[in-house]
């Protein structure tokens, strides 16, 4: 970084500059920090400062064009507990697009409409207690069978109350909601003394066992990777059981109440 003006040999001073700049088809008012020669007023921007100026231009353009700004995207993602990956999954775009939009690239009008729909429209999501997905009993069975394949143990047993199996299911749903934008099964979980458990599990277990997993929506590769990751962490059911009791999502929810998927970002065993 230069310390002196190339023309005047005068020491540069860091100043906050307000300027009207032509960008795309608009005249924008922006504010930025840059090194300025106090004598000739020439500006000298470092690589980081130039990047900040470009970002300020993009943000001002988005605001004037009534598009979501990067700051708004990040704020709304945080409010909905969505990672960049989770938002990308909802929009069916690559995560690189989300990163670019939040770093200064101006999104198209069509993509902006999608962003607003998923981030600003309160009616776009089904229910924070079901992970923004309708509950599918056969998919719950499919997820548990995928765990059985990974763990090489039997989780689904006649007469079983899913005391341990439900912990695997809960972790899969919560992490999928956090990372992908919606749960895998749409199941609702209650905070019980024994940890997170399927709500109304006594009624659900027989239906899960008798359901046909072949009728379920197939698991995506990303969902399978989540299941594999959980299986590698908890090779024995007791480990998943014990870990679930350390999670704030369970501890913060009163006993008997449903655990909100909005708490998925508190999962400590599998940090985002």
- Mean pLDDT of residues grouped by 10 in the chain (272 residues)? 85 89 85 90 87 88 92 88 78 86 89 82 62 89 97 88 93 91 91 93 88 94 96 96 94 89 83 56
Do 110 and 174 belong to one domain? Answer: no
- The domain containing residue 27 runs over which residues? 13-64
Identify whether the C-beta of residue 138 lies closer than 8 Å to the C-beta of residue 213. Answer: yes
Q: What's the total number of domains in the chain?
A: 3
Distance of CA 94 to the CA centre of its chain: 13
State the pLDDT at residue 133.
85
d(CA 125, CA 113): 16
State the pLDDT at residue 263.
85
Do 182 and 228 belong to one domain? Answer: yes
Identify whether the C-beta of residue 190 lies closer than 8 Å to the C-beta of residue 184. Answer: no
State the pLDDT at residue 232.
96
Do 141 and 262 belong to one domain? Answer: yes
d(CA 180, CA 199): 23
State the pLDDT at residue 205.
87
Is this model's pTM higher than 0.75 or not? no
Residue 110 belongs to a domain? yes
State the pLDDT at residue 124.
53
Do 238 and 198 belong to one domain? Answer: yes
State the pLDDT at residue 202.
84
164-167: Cβ within 8 A, 24+ apart: 164/237, 164/238, 164/240, 164/241, 165/237, 166/195, 166/196, 166/197, 166/198, 166/201, 167/195, 167/196, 167/234, 167/237, 167/240, 167/241, 167/243, 167/244
How crowded is residue 239: how many other Cβ atoms within 10 Å of its Cβ? 14
Residue 38 belongs to a domain? yes
State the pLDDT at residue 270.
73
């Amino acid at each position: 970084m230069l310390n002196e003006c190339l023309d005047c040999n005068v020491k540069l001073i860091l100043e906050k500059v307000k300027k009207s700049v032509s960008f795309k088809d608009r005249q924008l008012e922006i504010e930025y920090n840059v090194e300025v020669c106090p004598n000739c007023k020439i500006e000298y921007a470092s690589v980081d400062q130039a990047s900040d100026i470009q970002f300020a231009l993009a943000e001002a353009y988005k605001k004037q064009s009534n598009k979501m700004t990067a700051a708004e995207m990040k704020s709304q993602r945080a409010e909905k507990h969505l990672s960049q990956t989770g938002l990308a999954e909802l929009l069916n775009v690559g995560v690189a697009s989300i990163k670019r939009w939040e770093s200064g690239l101006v999104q198209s009008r069509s993509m902006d409409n999608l962003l607003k729909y998923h981030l600003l429209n309160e009616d776009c999501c089904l229910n924070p207690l079901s992970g923004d997905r309708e509950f599918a009993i056969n998919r719950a069975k499919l997820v548990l069978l995928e765990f059985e394949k990974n763990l090489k143990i039997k989780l689904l047993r006649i007469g079983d109350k899913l005391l341990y199996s439900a912990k695997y299911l809960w972790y899969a749903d919560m992490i999928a909601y956090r990372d992908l934008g919606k749960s895998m099964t749409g199941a609702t979980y209650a905070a019980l003394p024994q940890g997170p458990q399927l709500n109304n599990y006594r009624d659900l277990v027989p239906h899960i066992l008798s359901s046909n997993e072949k009728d379920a929506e197939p698991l995506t590769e990303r969902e399978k990777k989540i299941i594999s990751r959980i299986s590698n962490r908890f090779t024995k059911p007791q480990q998943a059981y014990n870990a679930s009791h350390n999670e704030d999502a369970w501890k913060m929810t009163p006993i008997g109440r449903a655990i909100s998927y909005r708490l998925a970002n508190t999962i400590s065993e599998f940090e985002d």
